[in-house]
């Protein structure tokens, strides 16, 4: 099977276990789960791609970096527990400042589905692949912020390409594994990647529009669940199916709330606005190789450190808005 990826190019995939996992129903569902949480029909200039694309991208990046086969499979499956609307679910059942609800359900989603049977049949360590401690076992796939990891690097490269419109090939070519850690070959690509990441954080992931859409879609889902239109289990379908159920319900309040979330947004920031915006603080301090050692960018670049600190301060201050 040939895989063509926007970021990493074309690969011939011959691993039967990987192909079987990719063809499974739980993994195919990710084709209908948006990376950012708002579905393709949303009236926004923000880019749209899916958890399916990102998950394959993480696996390919791990392959490029020389990670072991099991870690590549863990990368492929690391987001399979995402519900429809991705991290918007954290505004219903999780913590919007952590955005880790899908981590808490990864084990049950893998072990309770055909994925578990495939992994078992193929001789993989199911407990390791479905566990919550990927950052301890798979050091290239997951690391705590602000370090680089394949998951964090892939979605940032994808959004830098889709949203910022930049050529990310130089950064991809500069990625290295040094003492088991992901880093850049030199300071320049580390700085470039860091700047892109923080721009995406400010202008896309934690922009006022993104945070407001999260609030509105979450409220629509909450109303649908409270009124018995949706169940928690329904959210493990794709977004098209969930929205179809909401629209077919005939409940005008639910439908209106959903259309607000995916429609054109008009809002104003106000000190006494009725809606308080919140979001996880995402930041990085990329490492690069210098004189045979790893160096954190913030330790040598005061301008980048100031950029990170400024973004932290911005998100710590409450922002209130009103819909117009």
Question: Whole-model pTM?
Answer: 0.96
What's the chain's length in residues?
A: 324
Per-residue pLDDT of the chain (324 residues; tens, 9 = 90+): 899 999 999 999 999 999 999 999 999 999 999 999 999 999 999 999 999 999 999 999 999 999 999 999 999 999 999 999 999 999 998 888 889 899 999 999 999 999 999 999 999 999 999 987 766 789 999 999 999 999 999 999 999 999 999 999 999 999 999 999 999 999 999 999 999 999 999 999 999 999 999 999 999 999 999 999 999 999 999 999 999 999 999 999 999 999 999 999 999 999 999 999 988 889 999 999 999 999 999 999 999 999 999 999 998 888 999 999
Q: Does any domain span residue 95?
A: yes
Q: Does any domain span residue 228?
A: no
Q: Does any domain span residue 315?
A: yes
pLDDT at residue number 293: 97
Whether the CA torsion 312, 313, 317, 319 is positive or negative: it is: negative
Q: Does any domain span residue 253?
A: no
pLDDT at residue number 135: 63
Q: Does any domain span residue 96?
A: yes
Burial class (CB in 10 A: 0-12, 13-18, 19+), 274: exposed
Which residues constitute the domain of residue 191? 2-208+280-323
Q: Does any domain span residue 199?
A: yes
Q: Does any domain span residue 55?
A: yes
- Residue 123 maps to which CATH number? 1.10.3210.10
Q: Does any domain span residue 169?
A: yes
Q: Which residues contact 86 (CB under 8 A, 6 or more apart)?
A: 33, 34, 35, 36, 37, 51, 102
Count the domains in the chain.
1
Count how many Cα atoms sit within 13 Å of the Cα of residue 165 in the half-sphere of its side chain: 2
Cβ neighbours of 113 (radius 10 Å):
17
């Amino acid at each position: 099977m040939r895989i063509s990826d926007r970021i990493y190019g074309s690969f011939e995939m011959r691993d039967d276990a990987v192909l079987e996992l990719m063809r499974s129903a739980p993994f195919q569902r990710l084709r209908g789960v948006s990376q950012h949480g708002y579905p393709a029909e949303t009236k926004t200039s923000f880019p749209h791609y899916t958890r399916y694309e990102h998950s394959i991208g993480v696996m390919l990046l791990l392959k490029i970096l020389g990670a072991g086969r099991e870690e590549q499979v863990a990368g492929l499956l690391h987001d399979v527990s995402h519900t429809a609307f991705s991290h918007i679910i954290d505004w219903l059942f999780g913590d919007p400042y952590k955005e880790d609800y899908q981590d808490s359900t990864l084990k049950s989603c893998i072990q309770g589905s055909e994925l578990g049977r495939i992994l078992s049949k193929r001789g993989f360590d199911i407990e390791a692949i479905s566990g919550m401690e990927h950052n301890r076992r798979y050091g290239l796939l997951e690391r705590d912020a602000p370090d680089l990891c394949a998951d964090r690097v892939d979605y940032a490269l994808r959004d830098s390409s889709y949203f910022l419109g930049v050529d990310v090939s130089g950064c991809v070519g500069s990625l290295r594994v040094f003492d088991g850690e992901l880093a850049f070959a030199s300071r320049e690509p580390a700085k470039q990647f860091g700047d892109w990441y923080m721009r995406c954080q400010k202008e896309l992931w934690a922009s006022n529009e993104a945070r407001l859409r999260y609030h509105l879609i979450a409220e629509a889902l909450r109303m649908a669940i409270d009124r018995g239109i949706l169940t928690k289990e329904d959210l493990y379908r794709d977004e098209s199916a969930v929205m179809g159920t909401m629209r077919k319900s005939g409940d005008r309040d639910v439908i209106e709330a959903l259309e607000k979330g995916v429609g054109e947004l008009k809002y104003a920031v106000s000190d006494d606005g009725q809606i308080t915006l919140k979001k996880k603080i995402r930041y990085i301090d990329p490492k690069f190789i210098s004189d045979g050692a790893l160096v954190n960018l913030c330790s040598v670049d005061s301008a980048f450190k100031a950029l990170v600190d400024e973004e932290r301060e911005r998100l710590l201050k409450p922002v209130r808005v009103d819909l117009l």
